């Protein structure tokens, strides 16, 4: 069961060794998955289409842009009254630096079959990484919180809000010169089912429920309205 905890409650909830390890493994793997998709040259995840477009005009690395945009998105949490957790802040920082580290180690392959393998591996790894860091019970990532916050404030389904956000960032990214392709479509179709399939087995069950906390029924209800 996922619970909605503030930063202090997250630390008091127990099983810190397991949860912190799972959190940071998940975030590093998330960054690695972005790098695999970049090196496939077959299209990026929607937000990374935007990131890749922005770095055409701003002289920083892709990973640095991921960090910068994460901080911008966190500012958007303020009017939505989303509650960041320790994992939210870690997500904003670790993913981008992990992506840059893997990009520095991984060359772009020449063979098309290798590019396809990198793409599929990147999408699968992204689903696993998402389930790992969410299951650690340290809070949602910046972009996930934007999605759930908008869904709650507007009353729209999670599916509709997510689709709207991702179409918007892809269009802006393409206008700026970002990279989209078959991988963008594959990611959009596969990431939800993959994360949903893997998450139940990776949720760290907390030994104690801190006073004043409750299961995240809000997220479950939004998900049910989306038909997921």
Beta bridge partners of 53: none
Give pTM, 2 decimals: 0.86
What pLDDT digit, counting tens, does each position of 151-196 carry? 888 888 777 888 889 899 999 999 999 999 999 999 988 988 898 8
pLDDT score of 222 more than 70: no
Query: 117-146 in b/e burial notation, b at 16+ Cβ within 10 A?
Result: ebbbebbbbbbbbbbbbbbbbbbbbbbbbb
Q: Give the integer Cα–Cα distance in Å for 92 and 222.
A: 24
Structure tokens at 136: 């650690």
Q: Minimal CA–CA distance to 20: which of 84, 86, 71?
A: 86
Mean predicted lDDT score pLDDT of the chain: 87
Q: Minimal CA–CA distance to 49: which of 192, 186, 190, 166?
A: 166
Q: What is the pLDDT of residue 46?
A: 93
Max CA separation in the chain (angstroms): 56
pLDDT above 90 covers a percentage of the chain that reads 57
CA distances from 228 to 25, 146, 203, 222 (A): 26, 19, 18, 9
15-44 average pLDDT score: 95
pLDDT band at 220; cut points 50, 70, 90: very low
> Among 46-50, 67-71, 102-106, 220-224, where is mean pLDDT lowest?
220-224
CA terminus-to-terminus distance, the chain: 17
Q: What is the pLDDT of residue 225?
A: 37
Strand ranges in the chain using DSSP code E only, listed in sequence order: none
Torsion of CA 29, 34, 35, 38, to 10 degrees: 160
Query: 202-218 in b/e burial notation, b at 16+ Cβ within 10 A?
Result: bbbebeeebeebeebee
pLDDT band at 217; cut points 50, 70, 90: very low
Structure tokens at 173: 């990214």
Q: Give the integer Cα–Cα distance in Å for 103 and 105.
A: 5
Helix (H) or strand (E) holding 117: helix 112-135
Kindly tell me the sign of the dihedral angle through the C-alpha atoms of 134, 179, 150, 189. negative
pLDDT score of 219 more than 70: no
Q: What is the pLDDT of residue 208?
A: 61
Q: Give the integer Cα–Cα distance in Å for 180 and 189.
A: 14
3-state DSSP assignment of residue 3: strand
Rg of the chain over all Cα atoms, to the nearest angstrom: 17
What pLDDT digit, counting tens, does each position of 67-124 carry? 999 999 999 998 888 888 889 999 999 999 999 999 999 999 999 999 999 999 999 9
Q: What is the pLDDT of residue 123?
A: 96
């Amino acid at each position: 069961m996922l619970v909605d905890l503030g930063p202090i409650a997250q630390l008091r909830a127990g099983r810190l060794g397991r949860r912190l390890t799972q959190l940071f493994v998940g975030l590093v793997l998330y960054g690695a998955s972005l790098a695999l998709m970049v090196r496939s040259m077959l299209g990026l995840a929607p937000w990374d289409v935007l990131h890749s477009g922005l770095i055409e005009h701003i002289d920083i690395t892709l990973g640095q842009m991921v960090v910068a945009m994460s901080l911008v998105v966190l500012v958007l949490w303020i009017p939505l009254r989303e509650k960041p957790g320790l994992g939210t802040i870690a997500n904003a920082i670790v993913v981008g630096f992990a992506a840059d580290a893997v990009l520095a180690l991984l060359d772009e392959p020449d063979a098309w079959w290798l590019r396809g393998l990198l793409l599929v591996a990147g999408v699968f790894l992204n689903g696993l990484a998402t389930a790992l860091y969410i299951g650690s019970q340290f809070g949602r990532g910046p972009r996930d919180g934007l999605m759930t916050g908008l869904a709650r404030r507007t009353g729209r389904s999670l599916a509709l809000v997510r689709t709207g956000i991702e179409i918007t960032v892809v269009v802006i990214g393409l206008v700026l010169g970002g990279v989209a392709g078959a991988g963008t479509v594959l990611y959009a179709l596969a990431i939800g089912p993959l994360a949903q399939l893997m998450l139940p087995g990776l949720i760290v069950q907390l030994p104690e429920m801190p006073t004043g906390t409750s299961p995240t029924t809000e997220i479950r209800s939004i998900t049910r309205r989306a038909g997921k």
